[in-house]
Amino acid sequence: MTAQTTLFEAYKQTKYKHTGHGPRNVNVLKTVMDEIDGERLSDMYGNGRTINPFEEKMAEFLGKEAAVFFPSGTMAQQIALRIWADEKGTKKIGYHPLSHLEIHEENGIRELHGLEPVLLTDRNHVVELEDITKLEENPACILLELPQREIGGQLPSYQTLEQISAYCREQGIKLHLDGARLLEILPFYQKTAAEVSALFDSVYLSFYKGIGGIAGAILAGDKDLISQSKVWKRRHGGDLISLYPYTLSADYYFEQRKDQMALYYEQAKTLASFYNECPDILTVPREPVSNMFHVHVNAKRDVLEPILIDIYEETDLGLTGFLGDTADGTLYFEVNVGDAYANVPQITVEKAFQLLREKLQKMYVKGV
Ligand SMILES: Cc1ncc(COP(=O)(O)O)c(C=O)c1O
């Protein structure tokens, strides 16, 4: 490779990755479709054999009365919050300042629904009970994102969740779970999806994060919420005539990976410990509480990128294709452990981390 090889190109060319489930290519769908009878009828506008039984299965899995499949979590969650706000007659909703709704949805919650989000805590902490009890005005709904992705997938304690749930019920505040990565946190809490969901009035789960499908989301709750959310889904153009590529792949990968989360979690803890043995590296959280964590490196971009590229070339293991900037001037990247990690030979992992330790040590000694 040339001196101009970018981190992303070098990463793409590596044979092994320690993050994800493998390439997001068309094979993700082909693998599913190869097993399906081609004569099977498609769903039609939210009805049919390829969608409704799956919705019922997910409702049961989440311990809720009903569930509806959405093409995206963005649509599902804005709709859930809108319904809770209309029901209570207040526009206030509360969530973390780094919630997906706040930073990745182009203000849909304000622009489309006229809601008024209240940011519950500062960027680096998870939402705690006091962040809710100290609010001057009761919001219609509090959204908790578990795990809190933008801060490395941190979690409040289970006791805190129980306290928040009890407080919200007492105060007539609906509690919504942004459970995009709900399955990924169950091994840490040692709870079932239904047990966690029981603390919430509405729950969203994504099918393309740890589950690794193509796209799609489920929203679960009581029958009234779900029947209202179907109306809103239609209003949003979310009732595609056919959603079967999404529902079939969601179901397939849900079955394939729902019981793998404890393994990913253990692997994430091991990987994080390898990173934490390197000088100038700290993972957030220090010990992961799911399959994900962030790696913070106290180094300059023009020093770290060539180090990583060298490691990729020497070992064929890609650690990341992207380095973000943190507010405190360090660099960071995200690790999400999935199926890909099991394919990396142990000797390759050891070699990559040995090189990373040595190269960072040299950088540290030189003081660059
Ligand atoms: C925590 C969280 N919530 C919601 C979403 C939205 O999901 P979708 O991409 O299906 O709209 C995402 C997507 O990355 C997410 O990470």
The amino acid present at 139, given as its one-letter code, is P
User: In angstroms, what is the span from residue 228 Cα to ligand 1's centroid?
Assistant: 21
Write down the pLDDT at residue 328. 87
Q: What is the distance between the alpha carbons of residues 22 and 340, in angstroms, rounded to a whole number?
A: 6
Mutation probe of ligand 1 site: the residue of 69, 100, 181 with most atoms within 8 A of C-beta: 100
Give the Å distance between the CA of 211 and the centre of ligand 1.
13
Kindly report the length of the chain.
368
Q: Is 52 in the pocket of ligand 1 (CB under 6 A)?
A: no
Which residues in the chain come in under a pLDDT of 50?
A: none
What is the pLDDT, as a whole number, of residue 113?
Answer: 98
User: Is the CB of residue 206 below 6 angstroms from any atom belonging to ligand 1?
Assistant: yes
Residue 42 has φ and ψ, to the nearest 5°, of -70, 160
Closest CA to 147 of 284, 20, 245: 284
Task: Indicate whether residue 201 lines ligand 1 (CB < 6 A).
Answer: no
Using a 10 angstrom Cβ sphere, with 0-12 exposed, 13-18 middle and 19 or more buried, the burial of residue 44 is: middle
What separation in Å is there between the alpha carbon of 73 and the centre of ligand 1? Answer: 5
Q: Where in the chain is the domain with CATH 3.40.640.10?
A: 43-241
Confidence (pLDDT) at 320: 98
Structure-block tokens of residue 234:
């239609």
In angstroms, rounded to a whole number, what is the distance separating the alpha carbons of residues 127 and 132? 8
Residues of the chain with CATH 3.90.1150.10: 7-21+260-366
Q: Confirm or reject: Cβ of 149 under 6 Å from ligand 1.
A: yes
Cα dihedral sign, 105-171-229-113: negative
Single-letter code of the amino acid located at 104:
H
Ligand 1 pocket residue status of 72, Cβ below 6 Å = yes
Structure tokens at 253: 């990968």
The finding on whether 100 has its CB within 6 A of some atom of ligand 1 is yes
- β-partners of residue 118 are 94
Q: Is the pTM of this model over 0.75?
A: yes
Q: Is the CB of 73 under 6 A from ligand 1?
A: yes
pLDDT of residue 168: 98
Mutate to test the pocket of ligand 1, among 68, 74, 96 (most ligand atoms within 8 A of CB): 74
In CATH, 43-241 is 3.40.640.10: yes
Ligand 1 atom with the shortest distance to the CA of 149: 1
Residue 16 belongs to what H/E stretch? strand 16-17
Q: What is residue 226's predicted lDDT score, i.e. its pLDDT? A: 98
Q: Compute the distance between CA of residue 183 and CA of residue 181 in angstroms, rounded to an integer.
A: 6
The predicted pLDDT at position 364 comes to: 67
Residue 304 C-alpha from the chain's centroid: 27
Residue nearest to atom 5 of ligand 1 (CA): 73
Residue to substitute in 72, 103, 104 for testing ligand 1 pocket (most ligand atoms within 8 angstroms of CB): 104
Q: Cis ω on the peptide bond leading into residue 285 (within 30° of 0)?
A: yes
Residue range 7-21+260-366 forms a domain whose CATH class is alpha beta
Query: According to the model, what pLDDT value does residue 68 have?
Result: 98
Radius of gyration of the chain (CA): 22
Q: In sequence order, what are the beta bridge partners of 169?
A: none
State residue 5's pLDDT score.
75
DSSP 8-state class, residue 192: -
List the beta bridge partners of residue 44.
47
Angstrom CA distances, 256 to 210, 212, 225, 286, 338, stand at: 11, 10, 29, 29, 12
Ligand 1: which atom is nearest the Cα of residue 70? 10
